[in-house]
Structure 1
Amino acid sequence: MNNFINSLTQMHLRGFNAIETATQDWLLGLAARLVFAATLLIYFWKSAATKLGDGVFGFLSPSDGAYIQIFPKAFESAGYASSALGAHHQLIAILGMWAEFILPALIVAGLFTRLASLAFIGFVAVMTFVDIFGHAVDPATIGAWFDGNPSSLISDQRVLWVFLLLVLVIKGGGTLSLDQLLMRVRSR
Protein backbone atom coordinates (compact mmCIF):
# COMPACT_ATOMS: atom_id res chain seq x y z
CA MET A 1 0.00 0.00 0.00
CA ASN A 2 2.84 2.40 0.85
CA ASN A 3 4.42 1.80 -2.57
CA PHE A 4 1.13 2.66 -4.26
CA ILE A 5 0.75 5.89 -2.25
CA ASN A 6 4.41 6.81 -2.89
CA SER A 7 3.93 6.19 -6.62
CA LEU A 8 0.80 8.36 -6.69
CA THR A 9 2.58 11.10 -4.74
CA GLN A 10 5.57 11.03 -7.11
CA MET A 11 3.29 11.07 -10.17
CA HIS A 12 1.36 13.99 -8.68
CA LEU A 13 4.56 15.93 -7.96
CA ARG A 14 6.09 15.25 -11.39
CA GLY A 15 2.89 16.23 -13.18
CA PHE A 16 2.31 19.48 -11.35
CA ASN A 17 6.00 20.40 -11.31
CA ALA A 18 6.02 20.00 -15.09
CA ILE A 19 2.96 22.25 -15.41
CA GLU A 20 4.50 24.83 -13.07
CA THR A 21 7.81 24.80 -14.95
CA ALA A 22 6.11 25.11 -18.34
CA THR A 23 3.93 28.04 -17.30
CA GLN A 24 5.91 29.94 -14.66
CA ASP A 25 7.27 32.67 -16.91
CA TRP A 26 4.18 33.58 -18.84
CA LEU A 27 0.85 32.18 -17.66
CA LEU A 28 0.08 33.99 -14.39
CA GLY A 29 1.06 37.46 -15.63
CA LEU A 30 -0.80 37.04 -18.91
CA ALA A 31 -3.85 35.46 -17.27
CA ALA A 32 -4.03 38.17 -14.59
CA ARG A 33 -3.82 40.90 -17.26
CA LEU A 34 -6.52 39.21 -19.37
CA VAL A 35 -8.82 38.81 -16.35
CA PHE A 36 -8.21 42.46 -15.48
CA ALA A 37 -9.04 43.47 -19.06
CA ALA A 38 -12.18 41.31 -19.14
CA THR A 39 -13.55 42.45 -15.78
CA LEU A 40 -12.17 45.88 -14.83
CA LEU A 41 -10.73 47.76 -17.82
CA ILE A 42 -14.02 49.00 -19.30
CA TYR A 43 -15.50 49.54 -15.82
CA PHE A 44 -12.75 52.00 -14.92
CA TRP A 45 -12.63 53.64 -18.35
CA LYS A 46 -16.39 54.28 -18.17
CA SER A 47 -15.93 55.71 -14.68
CA ALA A 48 -13.12 57.95 -15.95
CA ALA A 49 -15.27 59.10 -18.86
CA THR A 50 -17.87 60.42 -16.38
CA LYS A 51 -15.15 62.67 -14.98
CA LEU A 52 -14.10 64.25 -18.29
CA GLY A 53 -14.98 67.90 -18.70
CA ASP A 54 -16.45 69.35 -21.89
CA GLY A 55 -14.58 69.84 -25.14
CA VAL A 56 -11.18 68.81 -26.44
CA PHE A 57 -9.43 69.79 -23.23
CA GLY A 58 -11.93 68.00 -20.98
CA PHE A 59 -9.07 65.87 -19.68
CA LEU A 60 -7.70 69.05 -18.05
CA SER A 61 -10.93 70.28 -16.47
CA PRO A 62 -12.97 67.62 -14.66
CA SER A 63 -16.73 67.53 -14.84
CA ASP A 64 -18.96 68.05 -11.83
CA GLY A 65 -19.31 64.27 -11.82
CA ALA A 66 -15.64 63.97 -10.89
CA TYR A 67 -16.10 66.17 -7.84
CA ILE A 68 -19.30 64.38 -6.83
CA GLN A 69 -17.53 61.03 -7.01
CA ILE A 70 -14.21 62.03 -5.42
CA PHE A 71 -15.19 64.77 -2.95
CA PRO A 72 -18.89 64.20 -2.20
CA LYS A 73 -19.01 66.06 1.13
CA ALA A 74 -16.73 68.94 0.07
CA PHE A 75 -18.69 69.38 -3.17
CA GLU A 76 -21.96 69.46 -1.27
CA SER A 77 -20.51 71.99 1.20
CA ALA A 78 -19.44 74.14 -1.75
CA GLY A 79 -23.04 74.29 -2.96
CA TYR A 80 -22.26 71.91 -5.84
CA ALA A 81 -20.11 74.59 -7.47
CA SER A 82 -16.74 73.23 -8.57
CA SER A 83 -15.43 76.80 -8.81
CA ALA A 84 -15.85 77.08 -5.03
CA LEU A 85 -13.43 74.21 -4.45
CA GLY A 86 -9.71 74.72 -4.14
CA ALA A 87 -6.98 74.10 -6.70
CA HIS A 88 -5.95 70.97 -4.83
CA HIS A 89 -9.44 69.53 -5.39
CA GLN A 90 -9.08 70.14 -9.13
CA LEU A 91 -5.60 68.59 -9.20
CA ILE A 92 -6.73 65.49 -7.33
CA ALA A 93 -9.78 65.14 -9.60
CA ILE A 94 -7.60 65.42 -12.71
CA LEU A 95 -5.06 62.92 -11.39
CA GLY A 96 -7.83 60.52 -10.36
CA MET A 97 -9.40 60.74 -13.80
CA TRP A 98 -6.06 60.17 -15.52
CA ALA A 99 -5.30 57.25 -13.20
CA GLU A 100 -8.53 55.55 -14.25
CA PHE A 101 -7.53 55.82 -17.91
CA ILE A 102 -3.77 55.30 -17.76
CA LEU A 103 -3.19 52.66 -15.07
CA PRO A 104 -5.62 50.07 -16.53
CA ALA A 105 -4.14 50.61 -20.01
CA LEU A 106 -0.61 50.05 -18.66
CA ILE A 107 -1.70 46.91 -16.81
CA VAL A 108 -3.43 45.37 -19.84
CA ALA A 109 -0.50 46.21 -22.13
CA GLY A 110 1.95 44.85 -19.61
CA LEU A 111 3.95 48.08 -19.52
CA PHE A 112 5.40 49.09 -16.14
CA THR A 113 3.08 46.35 -14.90
CA ARG A 114 4.38 46.09 -11.35
CA LEU A 115 4.36 49.84 -10.71
CA ALA A 116 0.99 50.35 -12.42
CA SER A 117 -0.53 47.50 -10.40
CA LEU A 118 0.90 48.84 -7.16
CA ALA A 119 -0.43 52.32 -7.96
CA PHE A 120 -3.81 50.82 -8.80
CA ILE A 121 -3.92 49.06 -5.43
CA GLY A 122 -3.50 52.52 -3.90
CA PHE A 123 -6.25 53.82 -6.19
CA VAL A 124 -8.62 51.04 -5.06
CA ALA A 125 -7.79 51.80 -1.41
CA VAL A 126 -8.62 55.50 -1.88
CA MET A 127 -11.75 54.64 -3.85
CA THR A 128 -12.88 52.32 -1.06
CA PHE A 129 -12.23 54.96 1.60
CA VAL A 130 -14.24 57.55 -0.37
CA ASP A 131 -17.10 55.11 -0.92
CA ILE A 132 -17.32 54.14 2.74
CA PHE A 133 -16.74 57.51 4.38
CA GLY A 134 -17.53 60.05 1.65
CA HIS A 135 -20.61 58.41 0.18
CA ALA A 136 -21.58 56.62 3.41
CA VAL A 137 -22.62 53.41 1.68
CA ASP A 138 -24.79 51.04 3.66
CA PRO A 139 -23.37 48.03 5.54
CA ALA A 140 -24.85 45.57 3.03
CA THR A 141 -22.87 47.23 0.24
CA ILE A 142 -19.71 47.18 2.33
CA GLY A 143 -20.30 43.57 3.30
CA ALA A 144 -18.02 41.46 5.43
CA TRP A 145 -15.55 38.69 4.86
CA PHE A 146 -16.40 35.19 6.00
CA ASP A 147 -20.12 35.99 6.03
CA GLY A 148 -21.06 33.32 3.47
CA ASN A 149 -22.26 35.96 1.00
CA PRO A 150 -19.73 36.72 -1.77
CA SER A 151 -21.75 39.51 -3.36
CA SER A 152 -20.79 42.60 -1.38
CA LEU A 153 -19.60 45.37 -3.67
CA ILE A 154 -16.78 46.52 -1.44
CA SER A 155 -15.24 43.94 0.87
CA ASP A 156 -15.64 40.92 -1.42
CA GLN A 157 -15.15 42.44 -4.86
CA ARG A 158 -12.30 44.74 -3.96
CA VAL A 159 -10.29 42.12 -2.12
CA LEU A 160 -10.42 40.06 -5.32
CA TRP A 161 -9.32 43.11 -7.35
CA VAL A 162 -6.41 43.68 -4.99
CA PHE A 163 -5.43 40.00 -5.07
CA LEU A 164 -5.39 40.08 -8.87
CA LEU A 165 -3.23 43.21 -8.76
CA LEU A 166 -0.93 41.66 -6.15
CA VAL A 167 -0.28 38.76 -8.53
CA LEU A 168 0.90 41.34 -11.07
CA VAL A 169 3.00 43.22 -8.51
CA ILE A 170 4.76 39.99 -7.50
CA LYS A 171 4.94 38.11 -10.82
CA GLY A 172 4.98 41.01 -13.28
CA GLY A 173 3.25 41.04 -16.64
CA GLY A 174 4.86 37.81 -17.81
CA THR A 175 6.84 36.90 -20.90
CA LEU A 176 4.07 38.12 -23.21
CA SER A 177 4.17 41.75 -22.09
CA LEU A 178 5.63 45.05 -23.22
CA ASP A 179 7.84 44.98 -20.11
CA GLN A 180 9.57 41.85 -21.41
CA LEU A 181 9.82 43.26 -24.93
CA LEU A 182 11.52 46.38 -23.58
CA MET A 183 13.89 44.26 -21.50
CA ARG A 184 14.86 42.21 -24.57
CA VAL A 185 15.43 45.34 -26.65
CA ARG A 186 17.43 46.97 -23.87
CA SER A 187 19.66 43.93 -23.37
CA ARG A 188 20.78 43.93 -27.00
Structure 2
Amino acid sequence: MHPYTQGRWRNPANPNAPGSSRNPPPQPSVFGALPDPYRSRAPKPALIPFTFTSFRPNVLNCTVTGPQSRVYFRITTDTPTVGYTVFFDSAGQPVTIIEWRNHPVVEIRGILSKRSTSDWLPLSQNGSHRQMEALGKHFVWVPGGEYIFLYAAGVGQPQVYAQVSRAEDSVTLELTAEAIQIGLLEICVAATFLLQCGKSID
Protein backbone atom coordinates (compact mmCIF):
# COMPACT_ATOMS: atom_id res chain seq x y z
CA MET A 1 0.00 0.00 0.00
CA HIS A 2 1.15 3.53 -0.64
CA PRO A 3 2.73 5.20 2.41
CA TYR A 4 0.54 8.29 2.16
CA THR A 5 -2.83 6.70 1.52
CA GLN A 6 -2.68 4.68 4.70
CA GLY A 7 -3.74 6.75 7.69
CA ARG A 8 -4.30 9.76 5.40
CA TRP A 9 -0.57 10.34 4.93
CA ARG A 10 -0.50 13.07 2.28
CA ASN A 11 1.17 12.28 -1.05
CA PRO A 12 2.92 15.49 -2.18
CA ALA A 13 4.00 13.96 -5.49
CA ASN A 14 0.44 13.08 -6.50
CA PRO A 15 -2.18 15.42 -5.04
CA ASN A 16 -4.91 13.47 -6.84
CA ALA A 17 -4.10 10.24 -5.03
CA PRO A 18 -6.35 8.99 -2.22
CA GLY A 19 -5.64 10.83 1.01
CA SER A 20 -4.25 13.86 -0.84
CA SER A 21 -5.69 17.29 -1.44
CA ARG A 22 -4.61 20.88 -1.60
CA ASN A 23 -6.67 21.62 1.50
CA PRO A 24 -7.24 18.32 3.29
CA PRO A 25 -10.19 18.18 5.69
CA PRO A 26 -9.43 18.45 9.40
CA GLN A 27 -8.38 15.11 10.79
CA PRO A 28 -8.47 13.70 14.28
CA SER A 29 -5.17 13.72 16.13
CA VAL A 30 -3.09 10.62 15.49
CA PHE A 31 -1.91 10.77 19.10
CA GLY A 32 -5.20 9.30 20.23
CA ALA A 33 -4.42 6.16 18.25
CA LEU A 34 -0.99 5.68 19.80
CA PRO A 35 0.04 4.38 23.21
CA ASP A 36 -0.29 6.84 26.09
CA PRO A 37 3.25 8.33 25.86
CA TYR A 38 2.51 9.84 22.44
CA ARG A 39 -0.67 11.64 23.43
CA SER A 40 1.15 14.53 25.05
CA ARG A 41 4.03 16.13 23.26
CA ALA A 42 7.26 16.89 25.10
CA PRO A 43 8.57 20.48 25.16
CA LYS A 44 10.12 21.26 21.77
CA PRO A 45 13.94 21.45 21.88
CA ALA A 46 16.04 23.67 19.61
CA LEU A 47 16.12 22.23 16.11
CA ILE A 48 18.80 22.32 13.40
CA PRO A 49 17.38 22.52 9.84
CA PHE A 50 18.49 20.52 6.80
CA THR A 51 16.69 21.46 3.60
CA PHE A 52 16.08 19.34 0.51
CA THR A 53 16.08 21.92 -2.25
CA SER A 54 17.20 22.60 -5.84
CA PHE A 55 14.61 20.08 -7.04
CA ARG A 56 15.31 18.70 -10.53
CA PRO A 57 12.31 18.59 -10.91
CA ASN A 58 11.45 17.07 -7.53
CA VAL A 59 13.00 15.56 -4.40
CA LEU A 60 14.22 12.53 -6.39
CA ASN A 61 17.03 14.78 -7.63
CA CYS A 62 18.00 17.49 -5.19
CA THR A 63 20.56 18.94 -2.79
CA VAL A 64 20.45 18.77 1.02
CA THR A 65 21.88 21.85 2.71
CA GLY A 66 22.42 22.44 6.42
CA PRO A 67 23.66 25.25 8.66
CA GLN A 68 25.48 28.11 6.90
CA SER A 69 24.01 26.78 3.61
CA ARG A 70 26.63 24.04 3.54
CA VAL A 71 25.87 21.20 1.11
CA TYR A 72 25.69 17.93 3.06
CA PHE A 73 24.28 15.59 0.41
CA ARG A 74 23.45 15.47 -3.29
CA ILE A 75 20.68 13.06 -4.26
CA THR A 76 20.43 11.65 -7.77
CA THR A 77 17.92 9.18 -9.22
CA ASP A 78 18.47 7.12 -12.38
CA THR A 79 21.92 8.73 -12.74
CA PRO A 80 24.33 7.13 -13.38
CA THR A 81 22.27 3.89 -13.08
CA VAL A 82 18.59 3.59 -13.91
CA GLY A 83 16.50 2.21 -11.06
CA TYR A 84 18.70 3.57 -8.28
CA THR A 85 18.74 6.63 -6.04
CA VAL A 86 22.16 7.52 -4.63
CA PHE A 87 23.01 9.99 -1.86
CA PHE A 88 26.51 11.47 -2.18
CA ASP A 89 28.16 13.21 0.78
CA SER A 90 30.06 16.51 0.59
CA ALA A 91 33.19 14.62 -0.50
CA GLY A 92 31.31 13.01 -3.39
CA GLN A 93 31.21 9.56 -1.80
CA PRO A 94 28.03 7.44 -2.00
CA VAL A 95 26.54 7.01 1.48
CA THR A 96 22.99 5.79 0.81
CA ILE A 97 21.68 3.65 -2.04
CA ILE A 98 18.02 2.88 -2.75
CA GLU A 99 17.19 0.29 -5.37
CA TRP A 100 13.70 0.74 -6.80
CA ARG A 101 12.38 -2.80 -7.19
CA ASN A 102 8.79 -3.97 -6.72
CA HIS A 103 9.79 -3.97 -3.07
CA PRO A 104 12.50 -1.26 -2.80
CA VAL A 105 15.65 -1.84 -0.76
CA VAL A 106 17.84 0.68 1.06
CA GLU A 107 21.39 0.61 2.38
CA ILE A 108 23.24 3.30 4.39
CA ARG A 109 27.00 2.84 4.38
CA GLY A 110 28.32 1.71 7.75
CA ILE A 111 24.93 2.25 9.43
CA LEU A 112 22.14 0.22 7.86
CA SER A 113 22.68 -3.08 6.05
CA LYS A 114 20.76 -3.68 2.84
CA ARG A 115 17.08 -4.34 3.57
CA SER A 116 13.65 -3.67 2.17
CA THR A 117 12.20 -0.25 2.92
CA SER A 118 9.00 -1.88 4.17
CA ASP A 119 11.03 -3.77 6.78
CA TRP A 120 12.97 -0.69 7.83
CA LEU A 121 10.00 1.72 7.90
CA PRO A 122 6.99 -0.55 8.47
CA LEU A 123 3.57 1.08 8.52
CA SER A 124 1.49 0.37 11.61
CA GLN A 125 -1.65 -1.72 11.15
CA ASN A 126 -3.92 1.27 11.65
CA GLY A 127 -1.82 3.46 9.35
CA SER A 128 -1.17 6.09 12.04
CA HIS A 129 2.64 5.91 12.12
CA ARG A 130 5.75 4.20 10.80
CA GLN A 131 8.29 2.44 12.94
CA MET A 132 12.06 2.73 12.43
CA GLU A 133 14.97 0.86 13.94
CA ALA A 134 18.32 2.67 14.02
CA LEU A 135 21.45 2.54 16.15
CA GLY A 136 19.97 -0.33 18.13
CA LYS A 137 16.98 1.79 19.17
CA HIS A 138 13.33 1.94 18.16
CA PHE A 139 11.71 5.12 16.86
CA VAL A 140 8.35 6.11 15.37
CA TRP A 141 7.49 8.63 12.65
CA VAL A 142 4.12 10.18 13.49
CA PRO A 143 2.27 12.68 11.24
CA GLY A 144 0.64 15.54 13.10
CA GLY A 145 -0.61 18.78 11.55
CA GLU A 146 1.90 20.09 9.02
CA TYR A 147 4.72 17.92 10.32
CA ILE A 148 5.90 14.35 10.61
CA PHE A 149 7.59 13.91 14.00
CA LEU A 150 10.26 11.39 14.97
CA TYR A 151 9.95 10.09 18.53
CA ALA A 152 11.88 7.56 20.52
CA ALA A 153 9.61 4.57 21.03
CA GLY A 154 8.92 3.35 24.55
CA VAL A 155 7.38 4.40 27.79
CA GLY A 156 7.69 7.68 29.64
CA GLN A 157 7.67 11.24 28.32
CA PRO A 158 7.97 11.14 24.50
CA GLN A 159 11.20 12.65 23.20
CA VAL A 160 11.21 14.43 19.84
CA TYR A 161 14.33 13.84 17.76
CA ALA A 162 13.24 15.35 14.44
CA GLN A 163 10.39 16.84 12.45
CA VAL A 164 9.74 17.04 8.72
CA SER A 165 7.74 19.66 6.83
CA ARG A 166 7.15 20.36 3.16
CA ALA A 167 6.81 23.45 1.01
CA GLU A 168 6.04 23.54 -2.71
CA ASP A 169 9.69 23.39 -3.76
CA SER A 170 11.50 22.09 -0.69
CA VAL A 171 11.40 19.64 2.19
CA THR A 172 12.82 20.56 5.58
CA LEU A 173 14.16 18.07 8.10
CA GLU A 174 14.84 19.60 11.52
CA LEU A 175 16.94 17.62 13.99
CA THR A 176 17.80 18.10 17.63
CA ALA A 177 21.46 18.47 18.55
CA GLU A 178 21.19 15.15 20.39
CA ALA A 179 19.91 13.41 17.26
CA ILE A 180 22.96 14.60 15.34
CA GLN A 181 25.33 13.70 18.17
CA ILE A 182 24.11 10.10 18.35
CA GLY A 183 24.40 9.65 14.58
CA LEU A 184 20.87 10.08 13.26
CA LEU A 185 21.65 12.59 10.49
CA GLU A 186 22.22 10.16 7.60
CA ILE A 187 19.42 7.92 8.87
CA CYS A 188 16.88 10.73 9.10
CA VAL A 189 17.87 12.15 5.70
CA ALA A 190 17.25 8.74 4.12
CA ALA A 191 13.97 8.24 6.00
CA THR A 192 12.76 11.75 5.13
CA PHE A 193 13.51 11.14 1.46
CA LEU A 194 11.58 7.86 1.50
CA LEU A 195 8.61 9.44 3.25
CA GLN A 196 8.51 12.38 0.83
CA CYS A 197 9.55 10.90 -2.51
CA GLY A 198 6.04 9.94 -3.61
CA LYS A 199 7.02 6.37 -4.47
CA SER A 200 5.59 3.29 -2.79
CA ILE A 201 7.96 1.99 -0.14
CA ASP A 202 5.83 -0.94 1.04
User: What TM bracket, shorter-length normalisation?
Assistant: under 0.3
TM-score (norm 2): 0.22
Structure exhibiting the larger radius of gyration computed from Cα positions: 1
TM-score (norm 1): 0.24
Bigger share in helix: 1
Higher relative contact order (CA 8 A, sep 6+): 1
